[in-house]
Amino acid sequence: MSFMNSQDKSCAPHKHIRKCAGIPRSFLVEVNDPDRKGVMMDSSGKYVIPVMDADAYAIGKKEKPPFSPQNEPSSPSSSSSDPVPAALLCLICKDLLTDAVMIPCCRSSYCDECIRTCLLESDGHLCPTCRQSDVSPDSLTANTV
């Protein structure tokens, strides 16, 4: 009577390979490596993986830096599919209004920082739209519309 040695390689447990069932053959790709990720065995005993998985495994996962912005903001002029209404753009910086305020003389809307800087740097506190002078930065009102 002979007992098997526990170190015998022929007794090593084999990897359990799933049988593919219900997947059309046209959706499968034959592979030679039974240790390949996602491998299954078809009804004829061949190793296969789904075509979609083969493409995905070939490309690999693309890592993103953990704190990168998801989508870079595009400028309003370059977005042709959904243009930003002009009423939401600052007349000075041409970007979306940030902390929108209205100037009392012509009721134009600007970013708060843009119009305050413009009024303080201009000679005589000139409105950049209607050119009225002596417009105080304190007279700006929040644009809630």
What is the average pLDDT across 4-33? 71
Closest CA to 98 of 115, 81, 84: 115
**Residue that has been written with the tokens 């993103």 in this structure:** 64
Whether pLDDT at 10 is above 70: no
**Residue that has been written with the tokens 């304190």 in this structure:** 138
Which pLDDT belongs to residue 51? 81
Q: How confident is the model at residue 79 (pLDDT cuts 50, 70, 90)?
A: very low
Which domains does the chain show, CATH number per domain? 15-59 (no CATH), 87-142 (3.30.40.10)
Output 28-35 pairs: Cβ under 8 A, ≥24 positions apart.
Answer: 29/54
What is the average pLDDT across 75-97? 77
For residue 10, what are its two tokens? 């022929």
What is the average pLDDT across 95-99? 91
Which sign does the torsion angle of CA 19, 24, 25, 29 carry?
Answer: negative
